[in-house]
Amino acid sequence: MRVFLLGNGGRPGVVQAADELLPLLERRGEVVVVDLFQKADLSRHPAELALVLGGDGAILRAARQMAYQQVPTLGVNLGKLGFLAEINLDEVDEVLTCYQQGRCPLTSHLMFECELARPGNQPATFLGLNEVVIYGDPPLELIDIDLAIDGEPVSTFTGDGLILSTPIGSTAHSLSAGGPILRQELEAFVITPICAHTLTYRPLVDRADRRYQVTLHPGAAAAMLIVDGQERHPLRPGDLVTLRQAPVRFQLVRHPRRGYYHTLRDKLRWGAPPNYRHESRPK
């Protein structure tokens, strides 16, 4: 088995964890790339598995770094939440054994391409996994955003911004802005307004095989395009942002004994009952 060892080397404990895991990985196969700072061109090194150390942010970076040659990804949580990076460090050996024996679930997930077209410039395309956010810049200034789907005008959203999210991203920024939770394998995008300036705007779910086009309304203030919370690109009136499903899929190696709803309950406390206080009453 040929393995990438990737991660966020700036997070405490990641470099030490990589040193600890290297002997284990080398006993199981060949470690073809060790890159904790997203510098390597992974397209030059074929592999069967990417082991990613850190948190969910490290997985988002790794997915973009693998670009159009995605390999199954096993996330080891060294961060706070670990919704995608659900494996603990002391479980790596066990889960690798299950994976090599074909007993680990492998899920396939929608990725997106975000194209930024600016008059007089070549379009730039960004690959992502979680979401695209168009946000007012400077902050706290209302912006007007026009949305069209497959060329059909949808609405002009007025507020702090707009989120276009994949199902994996539905439990991230979109959820914080009041968006719905989508099962991660669905083929759909979620459109979630951020602090909309009217009560009639509600999140919208539509098919993934459509083209979503976003522009700033004429006369709108400047804005920022943010990809997966990590890449930032200034926007101005006249720019066209197009979101579409990517021709590649993100593949996630799951823990053999943890299902999706277990993760929702455990990580996000979804569906957990209130923690009632039991006070003694005077007799």
Query: What span, in angstroms and rounded, lies between the C-alpha atoms of 170 and 164?
Result: 9
Query: What span, in angstroms and rounded, lies between the C-alpha atoms of 206 and 80?
Result: 31
Largest CA distance in the chain: 80
56 a catalytic residue: yes
For the chain, the 3-state helix, strand and coil shares in percent, each to the nearest 5, are 20, 40, 40
* List 56, 137, 144, 239, catalytic entry: 56
Query: What span, in angstroms and rounded, lies between the C-alpha atoms of 12 and 58?
Result: 13
Burial of 153 (0-12, 13-18, 19+ CB in 10 A): exposed
Query: What span, in angstroms and rounded, lies between the C-alpha atoms of 150 and 74?
Result: 35
Do the beta carbons of residue 231 and residue 126 sit within 8 Å?
yes
Do the beta carbons of residue 218 and residue 251 sit within 8 Å?
no
Query: What span, in angstroms and rounded, lies between the C-alpha atoms of 7 and 122?
Result: 32
Q: Could you list the active site residues? A: 56
